[in-house]
Amino acid sequence: MGNEAAKGLSVNAKTLIMILLFVNVGFAFKMINKYYAMKEAGYIREQTFHSQLEKRVMKAFGSMEELNKMVSDITRQKEEAEKIADSFKIQDEQLKIANKKLEEAKVNLEEEKARLQKEIWELEDSLSLAKKTLSNKDLTIQELMNNLEIAEKEREAFKKQLEELSKSPGAWSLPKQ
């Protein structure tokens, strides 16, 4: 069967196909080897970097345990800082609400102050009017008191005249009309 399908191709074409097939297989094998070599080189580079980092840590901190302890402390501090930041956000929202309420209260107090000031002015006007009325009443009362004193004096004078006239019955007579 293999011969029947390949009957139509010449020997040179068959040879060329075989050569290209081997070249492709060889190229694929070469690329796979190159991939694994690069992977191994990257792993070695990563290991080298890790070992160099370890050496630096050992020089700076003395041991890996100290570094791990520092890293855990830093991580813990970061978590605490995040919690504090969250609490600050909550407090900020609460302060905004409180400030809004204070502003509303301030506006209400200003309105109340204006209303009370208006009432004060109205009461002052009423007091001024009452003072003026009382002053007029005082003047009227004073005039009445003066008139009463005058009337009292006149009455006393008439009473004296009447007493004097009653002491001497012959001296007086009815007035002529």
27-60 tens-digit pLDDT: 999 999 888 888 777 767 677 777 777 777 677 7
- Which of 23, 47, 62 is the endpoint of a domain? 62
Residue 162 domain-assigned (yes or no)? no
Per-chain mean pLDDT for the chain: 84
Cβ–Cβ under 8 Å, residues 153 and 160 = no
Q: Examine the domain organization and report whether 69 and 128 are in the same domain.
A: yes
Q: Examine the domain organization and report whether 19 and 69 are in the same domain.
A: no
Q: Examine the domain organization and report whether 68 and 58 are in the same domain.
A: no
Q: Examine the domain organization and report whether 49 and 17 are in the same domain.
A: yes
Amino acid at 142: Q
Q: Examine the domain organization and report whether 37 and 68 are in the same domain.
A: no
Q: Residue 83 and residue 77: Cα distance in Å, rounded?
A: 10
* Between 145 and 71, residue with greater pLDDT: 145
- Which of 25, 47, 62 is the endpoint of a domain? 62
* Structure token digits, residue 88: 């600050």
Is the pLDDT at 104 greater than 90? The verdict is: yes
Range of the domain at 16: 10-62
Residue 32 domain-assigned (yes or no)? yes
Total structural domains in the chain? Answer: 2
Q: Examine the domain organization and report whether 70 and 57 are in the same domain.
A: no
Predicted pLDDT at 62: 67
Share of the chain above pLDDT 70, in %: 86
Rounded mean pLDDT, 99-109 = 95
* Structure token digits, residue 145: 């008191």
Residue 115 domain-assigned (yes or no)? yes
This model's pTM is above 0.85: no
Residue 103 domain-assigned (yes or no)? yes
Q: Examine the domain organization and report whether 47 and 16 are in the same domain.
A: yes
Residue 55 domain-assigned (yes or no)? yes
Q: Residue 78 and residue 84: Cα distance in Å, rounded?
A: 10
Q: Residue 80 and residue 146: Cα distance in Å, rounded?
A: 93
Amino acid at 136: N
Sign of the dihedral through C-alpha 151, 157, 159, 161: negative
